[in-house]
Homo-oligomer: A and B are copies of this chain.
């Protein structure tokens, strides 16, 4: 727990001394972060739903990444005090403002896949 926080601090420091792109990477630089944020663009999602959208990542990794996104203020974690437990994640306004980045990433990936399928 302390680790991820210190890592985040380092990333922030890099974001300060570096260029604007580094600042963005200090927030969305994790391997699964852009994917998680992208799927949250369409609305709130439960933890398990998020896991299903990123089958290549383990639940543990998803938890860790979500915690960092939350700490960076791009994701809200909503806990419903019921049994069985229910937790939803949603983008904050800051997170929603990442839409241009995420959508351009999706577009580029789509084109890449098409060109790879053609070859």
Contacts and interface: CB of A to CB of B under 8 A. Distances in A.
Interface of A: 14-25, 27, 29, 31, 34-35, 38-39, 53-56, 97-98, 100-102, 104-113
B112 A24 contact: yes
B14 A56 contact: yes
Contacts of A53: 19
A93 to B, nearest CB: 11
Nearest to A20: B109
Contact of A25 (B16, B20, B31, B111): B31
A15 to B, nearest CB: 7
Given A14-B56, A21-B34, 19 more contacts: A15-B112, A15-B113, A16-B113, A19-B39, A19-B53, A19-B106, A19-B109, A20-B106, A20-B110, A21-B35, A21-B105, A22-B35, A22-B109, A23-B109, A24-B109, A25-B35, A25-B105, A100-B108, A104-B104
